[in-house]
Amino acid sequence: MRRLDCASSTRQRLARRRVRPGDARPTRAAGGGHGRNSTSVAARVLIDTNVLVYRYDHRFPKKQSTASAVLREYLRTGVARVPHQAIVEFVAATTRGRPGQRLLDPADARREAEEIIAQFDVIYPDDAVLRMALRGAAAYGLSWFDAHLWAYAEVHGLSELLSEDFQHGRMYGTVTVHDPFRDA
């Protein structure tokens, strides 16, 4: 089992709290989280499920390396958020299949999900996200799950969506998609 950031007992944990629409500058405990001394960090990036999953997918070593580097960087800078949906999908995707074919055993996937929750600010769905997802699915022809993911970024004022599931470089509303795996 590999952790995003060693998870040593000497590392300060992020102050966990719910992030709500318009909450682009979540407050952190002074000196806490991401090794930063400031008390707030401007969020700008939403991380999709595939970035979390590739971190543990040994079948694609280049993508695994890219995902690890990207997550480490965003953990260090504190500018990324993870939607509730991505954590749910992460557990499902990494535990799918028969034993021996899974990326992670269920207990390991749960522990890793707990680490993601502890290390990143998590955005939870609400009426605004659901309504925006409905509009996004209609306007952009996105699948329900992709529209829902995009809606988290749009509603919360995050300018970038990190995903391989959308067209790289395209703007959807105010959100630009970046595919970190396009060269992998």
Backbone angles phi, psi at 62, to 5 degrees: -70, -45
Q: What pLDDT does 168 receive?
A: 87
Q: What pLDDT does 166 receive?
A: 84
Q: How much is the pTM? A: 0.77
Q: What pLDDT does 98 receive?
A: 77
Q: What pLDDT does 43 receive?
A: 76
pLDDT tens for the chain, 184 residues long, are 444 443 332 223 334 444 445 544 333 332 333 333 333 457 799 999 999 999 999 999 999 999 999 999 999 999 999 999 999 999 999 999 877 789 999 999 999 999 999 999 999 999 999 999 999 999 999 999 999 999 999 999 999 999 998 888 899 999 999 999 998 6
Return the CATH number of the domain spanning residue range 45-178.
3.40.50.1010
Residue 128: how many other CB atoms lie within 10 Å? 16
The answer to whether 90 and 109 have CB atoms below 8 angstroms apart is yes
> Going by C-beta distance under 8 Å and a sequence separation of 6 or more, which residues neighbour residue 159?
44, 45, 153, 174, 175, 176
